[in-house]
Structure 1
Amino acid sequence: MKYISEIDELSSYPSIDTDVLRTFVAIADQGGFTKAGELVNRTQSAVSMQMKRLEEDVLKRQLFERDGRQVRLTAEGQVLLGYARRILKLHSEVFNTLREPHMVGLVRIGVPDDYVMRFLPGILSRFAQFYPLIQIEVNCESSTQLLQRQDLDLTIVTRKPGNELGQLLRQERLVWAEAQCFAVHEQATLPLAMSGTDCFCTEWACNALDARDRNYRLAYNSPSLAAIMAVVSAGLAMTALLESLIPQDWRILGEAENLPQLPMLNIMLVRNLNKPSPITECLAEHIVEGFKL
């Protein structure tokens, strides 16, 4: 009886069309009716009519404060915005899940530890919104080790220029860096924290220092980016990393500190051509977009 009464109670409320909620969110994001109309392919007058009905007939609450062509959300509007985003997200999940039931399965990806925290959270979060039933297995190893594996569907690797393999995701420079509050680069023998002897970034860094005739030692060696960052942040060593991985409280070093310039690196996406599938390709598209951000 309780279940029936809850249904009866819900049926007494007016419904809000998802198109109206989508228009409302567009107004909030764009700051005006005209730009929102362009986003949802409606005229400014049609958008205004939608919102007037939502305010006066459905919710009976003022949602906007109007200042010329600019609009701001009222307190009630801010409350609705949170619910609207959640409703639209659930609406999208329902359709993607039920309209594409074949998008269920497992994708195995390989990625160096360097890129996990910087790129994967956003990529996997957006992918899960569209394909919540797909299971993803993440394998973290060096680029050299990953390229030797045959069981992975997608592999993200770092490659030297002229030795590319797969689809280019991003180009970045390798840079020297140390913690702001330390001057490790002033030591007569530079202590380095690097990813390992099988990483060609380590090879490049050492070769560049040899060519500059700078003394150094591999003080810390770990395949874990978190471990390297902990060592550098403690002022125990300096390192060479991709520029996008450098924390804000570190400083990038270069010629001013008598350190050689390091080369550009190519981040590549390699597909396993022996195991093609729509699931794998969908994730590949999200990875490509994620590395542009």
Structure 2
Amino acid sequence: MLQTIDHELLRTFVAIVDHGGFTHAAKAVNRTQSAVSMQIKRLEEDVIQRQLFERQGRRMLLTSEGTTLLGYARRILDLHGEALTMLRQPDMIGKVKLGVPDDYVMRFLPGILKSFSHHWPLIDVEVHCAPSSVLLNRHKDQLDLSIVTREVGNEIGEILLQDQTVWVVAGSHTTHQQSPLPLALFEEPCFCRRHACNALSRVGLSYRVAYSSPSLATLQAVVGAGLAVSAWMKSLVTPGMRILDEADGFPPLPDASIVLLRASDTPSPAVAGLAQHIIEEFKL
């Protein structure tokens, strides 16, 4: 009769790999270190009958057999979790339509989707990328959830984060010293664009909007190449960018709010689940 593998042994095995050793794995699976050691000994000697780990100093390295088992173990545990989700909470399946500006795709979306997929692997997430102004017009009838940017004091929905709007320039360039000042700004309508232009006009700085795009990635590329100065939220500033302030002759800009919009006051469990994961990600 074909021998089976206890999924708890596999869970401990994967935890050792993911957490880099027996000590941290023991905390992850809520067992003592000696219990974890006994589980691996049982897995190696009684079930697999192969050595799964070898020590190199303080490091635990997988043997070739351990590497083979790891792939199968992850698949088995994923299927186990998927089956329990389906049987225990059959309402947590379906599709959620999420609207988000591309500003936040790289900064926030990976963590949100990874966490959500881990807990609810059977829900399909349909991501719609568009500027906040477009999402505001679509969120009621075309989207379940939307993450958008709003002016402070003009928020609707649930505030996820309030952030400072800052001037940015490539750290290795002096583009901010040019006159007229070349700007790379979001397309109209965008209140960050309006605030930036108004602020420069108030202090008498001559400028021109040299580049305009709905995409943050495009603006980052333009600024990174030393072609222009831009303005966006501080949480979106990437390495290699320098923040300009009043010491550089640049006026302060108003803060902005990132908010979560729900299309319905009585969302499905799937929509409510994703909303909660979004909220938790912005707390980090």
1:107 to 84, 89, 96: 96
Q: CA separation in 2, counterparts of 1:139 and 1:35?
A: 39
C-alpha contact (below 8 Å) 2:54/2:63 kept by paired residues: no
Q: CA separation in 2, counterparts of 1:102 and 1:140?
A: 27
Q: CA separation in 2, counterparts of 1:56 and 1:110?
A: 51
| Counterpart position of 1:7 | none
TM-score by length of 1: 0.82
Give, in angstroms, the shift of residue 34 of structure 1.
4.3
1:162 to 125, 132, 153: 153
Q: CA separation in 2, counterparts of 1:21 and 1:90?
A: 13
Q: CA 1:53–1:71 in structure 2 vs 1: closer, same or farther (change >3 Å)?
A: farther
**Does 2:123 match 1:128?**
no
Q: CA separation in 2, counterparts of 1:123 and 1:79?
A: 30
C-alpha contact (below 8 Å) 1:175/1:242 kept by paired residues: yes
Give, in angstroms, the shift of residue 94 of structure 1.
2.9
2:257 to 266, 270, 273: 266
Q: CA 1:229–1:137 in structure 2 vs 1: closer, same or farther (change >3 Å)?
A: same
2:179 to 145, 165, 188: 188
C-alpha contact (below 8 Å) 2:173/2:226 kept by paired residues: yes
Q: CA 1:48–1:112 in structure 2 vs 1: closer, same or farther (change >3 Å)?
A: same
2:270 to 252, 258, 279: 279
Q: Quote the sequence identity (%).
A: 56
| Counterpart position of 2:226 | 235
| Counterpart position of 2:248 | 257
| Counterpart position of 1:3 | none
C-alpha contact (below 8 Å) 2:94/2:124 kept by paired residues: yes
- Return 5+ residue gaps in structure 2 as ranges: none
Q: Please give the per-residue CA displacement for 1:74-129, whole angstroms capped at 9, x wherever unaligned.
A: 43445544443333223222322344333333322222221123222332344334
| Counterpart position of 1:73 | 61
**Does 2:75 match 1:86?**
yes
**Does 2:208 match 1:217?**
yes
Q: Which amino acid aligns with 1:218?
A: V
Q: CA 1:128–1:176 in structure 2 vs 1: closer, same or farther (change >3 Å)?
A: same
Q: CA separation in 2, counterparts of 1:33 and 1:124?
A: 29
C-alpha contact (below 8 Å) 2:149/2:257 kept by paired residues: yes
Q: CA separation in 1, counterparts of 2:73 and 2:63?
A: 14
- How many residue pairs are counted as aligned between the two chains? 281
Q: CA 1:42–1:129 in structure 2 vs 1: closer, same or farther (change >3 Å)?
A: closer
Q: SS of 2:107's equivalent?
A: helix
Structure 1 runs (4+) deviating above 6 angstroms are: none
Q: SS of 2:105's equivalent?
A: helix
Give, in angstroms, the shift of residue 221 of structure 1.
1.8
Q: CA separation in 1, counterparts of 2:131 and 2:111?
A: 21
Q: CA 1:189–1:170 in structure 2 vs 1: closer, same or farther (change >3 Å)?
A: same
| Higher deviation after alignment, 272-281 or 94-103 | 94-103
Q: Please give the per-residue CA displacement for 1:31-71, whole angstroms capped at 9, x wherever unaligned.
A: 44344333322233322221111122222233344699x66
2:170 to 170, 179, 191: 179
Q: SS of 1:248's equivalent?
A: coil
Q: CA separation in 1, counterparts of 2:281 and 2:183?
A: 30
| Counterpart position of 2:135 | 146
| Counterpart position of 1:54 | 43
